[in-house]
Amino acid sequence: MNIKIYTIVIALLSILSINTFAQKKNKKKTVKSGYNIKITVNGIKDTVVYLGNYYKGNRYSLDTAKINSKSQIVFKGEEKLAKGMYIIFFPSQGMSFFDMLIADDQEFSLTTDTSDLFIKNMKVKGSVDNEEFFIFKRKFNELNRQVFNIQKEIKAKKDDKDFIDAQKKKLKELSQQNEELIEHTVTTCQSKTLRNILNLMREPKIPEFEIDENITNKDSAEKVLKYNYYKNHYFDYVDFTDSTILRTPMFQPKLKHYISQVIIQIPDSVSKAGIELIEKSRDCYAVFQYLVITMLRYQDDSKLMGMDRVFYDIAKKYYFTGKADWVDSTILSNIKTRANYIEHNLLGNKAVDLQNLETLDKKHISLYDIDAKYTIIIFWEPNCGHCKKAVPKLYNEYLDMIKQGIDVEVLAICTHPEREPWEKFIKEKGTNDWINAFDRYMMTNFKLLYDVNFTPTLYLLDKNKRIIGKRIDAEQVQKMILQFEKIGKK
């Protein structure tokens, strides 16, 4: 049984094309001159070439043209292109391509050949941005070529420790040269577009910290200080008010690394970090929109329990308040519905009491009547294929924990409204030693309160009925409880 509300929300969000991210609020008037890019690639004739751009870590095709007999291509359009990194793509040349910049000057020419990935002999006319970009690119490619060759040598002589140590020293020196190249280019170039793109590649320089000699764990204290500095200064160089950063191959992985690896993966911490970044972008509608949608969907990429908290926090702050004004009423309604399902069962919250559940002997019990250090709630139904495997599995786990002396109880709630299939299942599976119950008249509203959109759905509660595990598998429950027991004994 599956209401599929969440699936609908994501499907509706996914149909947002990259055009949705146009500058809605800080949109400038269309410039009639548009773009006119002339490219000559000596050595290539009579083939189709693509003009594309980067967006959200992917590449998108925007225009096509054919190289004429003089090895020339012209890309032309009536409206200016959005600023960022773009791609000239040659399918006939083994899927080869080269990057270029689109900035304010969108009438320019490039002349090159196929040597060194089109970069070595690149000539630019009419675009200071691209002149500076290709100067940087040649130096950057040379450093990367040296890195690649050293890594290849290390792999070939992996048993020669002295050689490897010497090569690693060279790699460190090249890394330093790379950082210096980026920093020098940023501080000397005229192109704001190039500066903002290269700043995405910069990392915070962590200072040395003086640790008080009286501190017992000096190494640990230093690591904490360095981590906090790195986290707090991770985006120091990034301009969240410039939509150029969206059309690069650097921003999306940088953002993903920060949210999923730099930030400690606790739902509250992820929400806080995401909201802080979103607020940095309030002066740029496109970046603001991108970050809001990315954080709303963060739980899709995370495999960690409880990350629906991020969905709820983002929905409440931006969608419930009308700040996410790009969504239509249908999408907004589904987001609100999904958030309402999450609201009552967030990890760390106290579970809502389920009262007057009917038992096998036709008595009544409530969740809060159960007095145990751990309470497992499983919502299931007799005709569910997954339940037929999960319920007996959980029952065996439960009996095993009882033998170990763990104070645990299970409240197995049948979601089917008819008594006969429920009783038949229990009799066949022999699950009589825990608390079997069902809500004959659906009076507890458990589907909303516990987000029971499919079965089986499992929750783990502590002695105070606080939710410490949710939507977990039967095989995970005992492992989690044993982990909590281990922590409690320390």
Which is nearest to 379 in space by CA: 463, 291, 453? 453
Q: What's the half-sphere exposure (Cβ side, CA atoms, 13 Å) at 284?
A: 17
Answer with the residue of higher pLDDT: 130 or 416: 130
Instruction: Please give the Cα distance from 469 to 387 (Å, whole number).
Output: 19
Task: Specify the pLDDT at position 31.
Answer: 42
- Is this prediction's pTM over 0.75? yes
Task: Specify the pLDDT at position 18.
Answer: 37
Contact (Cβ atoms closer than 8 angstroms) between residue 459 and residue 377 = yes
Q: Quick one: average pLDDT of 172-190? A: 96
Query: 241: which 2 tokens?
Result: 């008010």
Tell the residue number behind the tokens 């159960």, with chain if given.
Answer: 370
Task: Specify the pLDDT at position 26.
Answer: 44
Q: Quick one: average pLDDT of 349-367? A: 94
Specify the fold of 35-126.
Immunoglobulin-like (2.60.40)
How much is the mean pLDDT over the chain? Answer: 90
Answer with the residue of higher pLDDT: 159 or 426: 426
Question: What would the CATH number be for the domain defined by 357-489?
Answer: 3.40.30.10
Q: Quick one: average pLDDT of 170-196? A: 96
Q: Where does the chain hold its CATH 3.40.30.10 domain(s)?
A: 357-489
Answer yes or no: is pLDDT of 225 > 80: yes
Answer yes or no: is pLDDT of 452 > 60: yes
Q: Where does the chain hold its CATH 2.60.40.1120 domain(s)?
A: 35-126
Contact (Cβ atoms closer than 8 angstroms) between residue 450 and residue 381 = no
Task: Specify the pLDDT at position 296.
Answer: 97
Instruction: Write the pLDDT tens digit of every residue in 4-42.
Output: 444 434 443 443 333 444 444 444 444 457 999 999 999
Residue type, 45: K
Answer yes or no: is pLDDT of 59 > 80: yes
Task: Specify the pLDDT at position 489.
Answer: 67
3-state secondary structure at position 251: helix
Instruction: Write the pLDDT tens digit of every residue in 60-100.
Output: 999 999 998 889 999 999 999 999 999 999 988 777 899 99
Q: Quick one: average pLDDT of 45-54? A: 90
What percentage of residues in the chain have a pLDDT greater than 90? 77
Which is nearest to 32 in space by CA: 74, 68, 77, 1? 77
Bridge partners, 100 (sequence order): 86
Bridge partners, 410 (sequence order): 376
Answer yes or no: is pLDDT of 347 > 70: yes
Q: Quick one: average pLDDT of 261-285? A: 96
Q: Quick one: average pLDDT of 216-220? A: 86
Q: In degrees, to the nearest 5, what angle opens at C-alpha 282 toward C-alphas 280 and 288? A: 90
Answer yes or no: is pLDDT of 404 > 80: yes
DSSP assigned state of 141: H
Task: Specify the pLDDT at position 28.
Answer: 44
In order, the DSSP letters of 283-305 are T-HHHHHHHHHHHHTHHHH--ST
Instruction: Please give the Cα distance from 297 to 310 (Å, whole number).
Output: 8
Task: Specify the pLDDT at position 490.
Answer: 61
Task: Specify the pLDDT at position 94.
Answer: 75
Q: Quick one: average pLDDT of 183-199? A: 97
Q: Lowest-pLDDT range, 8-12, 341-345, 346-350, 457-461?
A: 8-12
Task: Specify the pLDDT at position 93.
Answer: 76
Answer yes or no: is pLDDT of 393 > 70: yes
Task: Specify the pLDDT at position 318.
Answer: 98
Q: Quick one: average pLDDT of 306-326? A: 96
For 268-283, give one letter per residue: b (16+ CB within 10 A) or e. eebbebbbebbebbee
Report the relative pairing of strands 48-55 and 84-90 from DSSP bridges: antiparallel
Q: Lowest-pLDDT range, 202-216, 282-296, 308-322?
A: 202-216
